[in-house]
Amino acid sequence: MAIKESLKGRTQAPFEYEVGREKIREYARAVGEENPVHHDPEAARAAGFSNVVAPPMFCVVYSAGAMGPAVLDPELEINLMMMVHGSQQFEWFEPVVAGDTITTTATLKDLYDKNGMQFYVFESESTNQQGKPVVKGTWTNIVRAG
């Protein structure tokens, strides 16, 4: 399948995610983050956060609702069975704490053929309820053959 150059720059509708304290704790337990600032509001406040703070990689949780539709965009016709997650970058700004509302927008930044594979590069930008940036993600998916 040929790549569709014309879809470059395509942006999905923003996705809003309300950050819950128990979700942060659940995520922190799943990845082994034991720092009390991710579990205990008192410890978080003592460290200067207004509530339990999300581990940096929690960004995948609040970004997922924006990334899903971007990757599953029917016009892209990505063969999911042949897709692998090639590389990933995150850049963090304001910390995310329980009670925040995070809005994420995903854009298809680039798509190209290389070595017989198709590369799809998505960019996500997340901001908090004050409009401050919290994370910027670059997601590269590779589709082998197909």
Task: Point out which residues bind another protein (CB under 8 A).
Answer: 23, 26-27, 29-33, 35, 37-38, 47, 53-57, 60-61, 64, 81, 84-92, 95, 138
Find the shortest distance in angstroms from Cβ 85 to another protein.
5
Q: Rank residues 92 and 105 by Cβ distance to another protein and give the closer one.
A: 92
Which of 14/65 has CB closer to another protein?
65
Give residue for tokens 């854009």: 107
Q: What distance in Å separates the CA atoms of residue 134 and residue 60, rounded to the nearest whole number?
A: 12
Q: Are 55 and 71 in contact (CB under 8 A)?
A: no
Q: Residue 2 CB, nearest distance to another protein (Å)?
A: 25
CB of 142 to another protein, least distance (A): 9
Under the phi-then-psi rule, with left for phi > 0, alpha for psi from -120 to 50, and beta for the rest, what region is 48?
A: left
Q: Which two tokens stand for residue 71?
A: 């990757």
Q: Please say which residue, 3 or 90, places its beta carbon nearer to another protein.
A: 90
CA 3 – CA 113 distance, rounded (Å): 7
